[in-house]
Amino acid sequence: MTPSTDPRLLVHAYVDGELDPAHALEVERQLAGDPALAAERERIEALRRAIAQQLPRESAPPGLARRVEAALGLRAARTVSHPSWRALAASVAVAAFLCSGATWLALSPGAGDADMIVANHMRALMAPRPIDVESSDRHTVKPWFNGRIPEAPRVIDLSSEGFPLVGGRIDVVARTPVPTLVYRYRQHLISLSALPLGRAAAMPPEQIAGYNIVSWTENGLAYWAVSDLAAADLNAFAKAFRDAGPG
């Protein structure tokens, strides 16, 4: 955030969920000390609510995310001598669509923790880097969290179970920074977020926007695993994490 940045523009980005955790927290500090800025935020949110009440809420077609990712993967696998502007435009359009879908999930009326967690996973998949700290060493990842959030989750490398640790990042759920571990299974990424138990309760496995979710509680935290993996594979990951020793 630069000194010349218009705070009102940052408030718009904040309401749209487009800021990283550090900038989101900075905007929240400005909102707490600037009544005019807080009023601007209320105006924006009231406008969004009014629009949402007039427009029907529709879910993305089942499997859309997987089809898009498969198409992007196929395109990346091709060897071409000259880039096509049509392919580039299509890629930008797909990225914009998925990112807007993630924002819609997180900010739509009645959006719960599950919607926001899935939206964070979708945004991470479209970002240049889906993680803030890249390491398969839990002794690197856990200390990184310790300096940034009040309570770090268990950090476990599950390579022996087929789910290697990739790293971690900090997401925002209901304006609260939460730690998210990132694992890989073959070509799929798994986001595992840890929320304070009072902030979210575990729920049965379900699917949102084509992504499977598995959640459970342990040691005062609610763990939420999100991925486009098959439900059976995601449940196998959750079991491997729960059965592992202290991290």
Would you state the pLDDT for residue 73?
Answer: 58
HSE at residue 79, side-chain half, CA atoms within 13 A, is 0
How far is Cα 243 from Cα 81, in angstroms, rounded to an integer?
A: 49
Q: Is 27 exposed, middle or buried (0-12, 13-18, 19+ CB in 10 A)?
A: buried
Pair 217, 191: CB distance under 8 Å: no
Closest Cα partner for 42 from 18, 1, 5, 8? 8
| Residue from 156, 221, 143, 146 nearest 190 by CA | 156
Domain extent listing, the chain: 7-54, 117-243
What is the model's pLDDT at position 67?
63
Whether residue 50 has pLDDT greater than 80: no
Mean pLDDT of 133-145: 91
Cα-based angle 58, 63, 64 (whole degrees, multiple of 5): 65
What's the confidence (pLDDT) of residue 199? 57
On the question of pLDDT at 14 being above 90, the answer is: no
pLDDT at 144 over 60: yes
CATH 3.40.50.920 matches 117-243: no
Amino acid identity of 53? Q
Q: What are phi and psi of 152, to 5 degrees?
A: -90, 145
| Mean predicted confidence (pLDDT) in 109-125 | 77
122 contacts 106 by C-beta, under 8 angstroms? no
Q: What is the b/e burial string over 41-58, where b = at least 16 CB atoms within 10 angstroms of the residue's CB?
A: beebeeeeeeeeeeeeee
The answer to whether the beta carbons of residues 175 and 113 sit under 8 Å apart is no
CA 135 to chain centre: 19
Mean pLDDT of the chain: 76
Q: For tokens 């790293």, what's the residue?
A: 167
pLDDT band, residue 147 (cuts 50/70/90): confident
> What is the pLDDT, as a whole number, of residue 70?
63
Average pLDDT over residues 124-139: 86
Residue 208 β-bridge partners: 211
Instruction: List the single range of 2-6, 8-12, 18-22, 28-32 with lowest mean pLDDT.
Output: 2-6
Q: What are the DSSP calls for 76-141, one per residue?
A: HHS--SS--HHHHHHHHHHHHHHHHHHHHHHHSTT--HHHHHHHHHHHHHHSS-S-SEE-S-HHHH
pLDDT digits (tens, 9 = 90+) for 177-227: 899 999 999 989 999 999 887 655 556 558 888 899 999 988 888 899 999
Which whole number is the average pLDDT over 34-60?
69
